């Protein structure tokens, strides 16, 4: 952030109309991809990825066959026994490479939409933030998340095979594209759009609601980073309970056995028919831990750095 003063340019440009009250200031140009959210996302995923790995493994462990894992602890135990601790990080690279653009698209689109929908006092109400979050989620799903998640799931699923065929991130991507074309990285697009759209709609709705409640009649009231973290964790938990079924369907549609399903809806139907409704909540506990920490970290760092940028680039 300190180096940003030399590489980032003031926003808005000189001569441009000042932003409405409540809108955010943003660095311009292509360096927007080095957003606080992107940096926070990269740090966060390195810390919490094992929970993402376990969640994905449990979601891929179908009841249609004898279950491979007896639960979270058994999944961790078997993975470490067969592949060592580094086995819990299989597929990490695909998420690290995608975390910066994903967060940049998410927060950039949300701020763009929210700055168009604020009222004359610069306030964004909860209902409007829900639609802004939905737009941000759909944008990140199409541009970044779907190919990134598809590669991640294939990597994790490949490790279950007796003879894994992917030998690293770039080798895996090359093999997927060679065998299935670019569409091979866009498996489960419908489920991903539904998941990410609902994810961000819920998170930004809850986050905005809590912030508006905390500030009350004082829109300029400063929110302590700890409070922001608590609000972020709450928003993350709400999104987990609200859309884990979509996450399970997305994971199945992106796995190595996705050919068994004719469409997203067929996948959901077969899960319900052969595995029951509880199958839609596989991996909820490990996902809950990761997502709550993820959202808390990202919102805290993003908000704090935006506060700094707003002090540096004032538009009086």
Say what the pLDDT of residue 135 is.
94
Residue-by-residue DSSP string for 207-256: HHHHHHHHHTT-TTPPPPHHHHHHHHHHHHHHHHHHHHHHHHHHHHHHST
**Residue-level pLDDT at 13:** 42
Regarding predicted confidence, which is higher, 316 or 187?
187
Position 131 scores a pLDDT of 94
pLDDT tens string 3-40? 333 333 333 444 444 444 444 444 443 344 446 666 66
Least Cα distance to 37 among 113, 107, 136 occurs for 107
Phi, psi of 20 (to 5 degrees): -65, 155
Mean pLDDT across 131-143: 93
Dihedral sign for Cα 305, 307, 311, 313, please: positive
CB 309 within 8 A of CB 25: yes
Q: Report residue 119: phi and psi, to 5°.
A: -80, -175
- Tokens of residue 187, six digits: 């498996």
- Quick one: pLDDT at residue 19? 46
Q: Which of 267, 245, 269, 270 is nearest to 254 (CA)?
A: 267
How confident is the model over 221-231, as pLDDT tens digits?
A: 889 999 999 99
Rounded-to-integer distance, Cα 121 and Cα 219, Å: 9
pLDDT tens for each residue of 157-207: 776 677 778 877 778 788 888 888 877 788 778 888 988 999 999 999 999
Task: Residue 302: name the closest of 106, 68, 78 by CA.
Answer: 106
What is the average pLDDT across 138-152?
Answer: 86
What tens digit of pLDDT does each residue of 34-87 get?
466 666 667 777 877 888 788 878 877 765 467 788 888 898 999 899 889 988
Residue 138 is predicted with a pLDDT of 95
Both tokens assigned to 79 = 């993975």
What sections of the chain are H helices per DSSP? 4-7, 36-60, 72-83, 92-117, 126-140, 146-158, 169-180, 189-215, 225-254, 264-275, 284-312
Q: In this structure, which topology does domain 187-309 adopt according to CATH?
A: Mitochondrial carrier fold (1.50.40)
pLDDT at 80: 92
Q: Output the pLDDT for position 10.
A: 38
pLDDT at position 134 is 95
CB count, 10 Å around CB of 142? 16
Model pLDDT, residue 63: 54
What is the pTM for the complete model shown? 0.68
pLDDT of residue 313: 64
Residues 261-309: tens digit of each pLDDT: 888 889 889 889 888 888 888 878 878 887 898 889 888 888 887 777 7
Would you call 49 helix, strand, or coil by DSSP?
helix
């Amino acid at each position: 952030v300190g180096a940003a003063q030399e590489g980032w340019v003031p926003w808005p440009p000189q001569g441009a109309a000042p932003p409405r009250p409540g809108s955010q200031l943003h660095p311009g140009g292509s360096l927007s991809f080095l957003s606080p959210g992107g940096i926070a996302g990269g740090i966060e995923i390195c810390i919490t990825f094992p929970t993402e790995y376990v969640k994905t493994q449990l979601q891929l462990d179908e009841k249609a066959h004898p279950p491979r894992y007896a639960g979270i602890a058994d999944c961790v135990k078997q993975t470490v026994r067969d592949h060592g601790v580094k086995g819990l990080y299989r597929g990490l690279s695909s998420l690290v490479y995608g975390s910066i653009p994903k967060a940049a698209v998410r927060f950039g689109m949300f701020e763009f939409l929210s700055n168009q929908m604020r009222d004359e006092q610069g306030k964004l109400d909860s209902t409007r933030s829900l639609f802004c979050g939905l737009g941000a989620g759909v944008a990140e799903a199409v541009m970044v998340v779907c190919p990134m998640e598809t590669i991640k799931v294939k990597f994790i699923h490949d490790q279950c095979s007796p003879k894994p065929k992917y030998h690293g991130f770039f080798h895996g991507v090359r093999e997927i594209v060679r065998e299935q074309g670019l569409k091979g990285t866009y498996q489960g697009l419908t489920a991903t759009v539904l998941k990410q759209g609902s994810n961000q709609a819920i998170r930004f709705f809850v986050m905005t609601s809590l912030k508006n409640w905390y500030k009350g009649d004082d829109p300029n009231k400063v929110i302590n980073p700890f409070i922001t973290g608590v609000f972020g964790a709450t928003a993350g938990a709400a999104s987990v309970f609200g859309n884990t079924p979509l996450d399970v369907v997305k994971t199945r549609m992106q796995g190595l056995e996705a050919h068994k399903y004719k469409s997203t809806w067929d996948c959901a139907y077969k899960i319900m028919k052969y595995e029951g409704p509880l199958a839609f909540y596989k991996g909820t506990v490990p996902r809950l831990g990761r997502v709550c920490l993820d959202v808390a970290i990202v919102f805290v760092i993003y908000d704090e750095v935006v506060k700094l940028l707003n002090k540096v680039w004032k538009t009086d």
